[in-house]
Amino acid sequence: MTLADYSMAAFAVLNGGRTLAYVPQMIRVYRDPHDAAAVSLLTWVLFAAANVATVCYALTASNDRIMAIVFAVNAIGCLAIVGLTACKRIDVERRTTMLRHRIASLRHSQTLVDRAALAEARSARCGRDCAPSARHRDNMILLGLMS
C-alpha cells in the first residue's frame, strides 16, 4: 500500500468515527436539564461552516465526491447539534415564562385572600355597626372582595 492508500484509509476510519461521535453529543443535549448551557452554538455553527466549505472545495477544486459526501454528513451532524440545542433552549425559555406567569398568578391570588381575611377581621372587630365607607366599599367591589 502507498502513503496515499494509508491516508485514505485513515480519512475513512477517522471521519466515520467522527460521524458516530455526534450521537452521544446529541443525546447529552437532549437529556440536559439545564437548557444545554454548556454547548456553544457558535462553535458548532463554525464546525458546520468549515465542513460545508470543505464540501465546496472537494466538489470544485479536487472533484472528489467521496470527500464531499463525508464532510456533508459531518456538516449535517453539526447542524443537528445546533438545532437540538436551539430547540432545547427555546423550550426551556417557554417553560420558564409559563412558570413565571403561574407564580405571578398565585401571588395575586394570595394578595386577594389576604385582603379578604383583613376585611373579615376588621368587620368582626367592628360588628355590624362598623360598615365600610362608600369609597372603601367601592374599592373592595373593584378588588372582587365584596359584591
pLDDT tens digits for range 70-129: 999 999 999 999 999 999 888 767 777 777 878 877 777 778 777 877 777 776 666 555
- Distance between CA 82 and CA 44 in Å, rounded? 6
pLDDT tens digits for range 39-62: 999 999 999 999 999 999 999 999
| Whole-model pTM over 0.95 | no
Which amino acid, residue 55?
A: V
Q: Where are the domains of the chain?
A: 3-109, 112-142
Residue owning grid cell 367591589: 141
Which CATH number fits the domain 3-109, given the four candidates 1.20.1280, 1.25.40, 3.40.50, 1.10.8?
A: 1.20.1280
- Distance between CA 87 and CA 95 in Å, rounded? 12
Whether the CB-CB separation of 145 and 111 falls below 8 Å is answered with: no
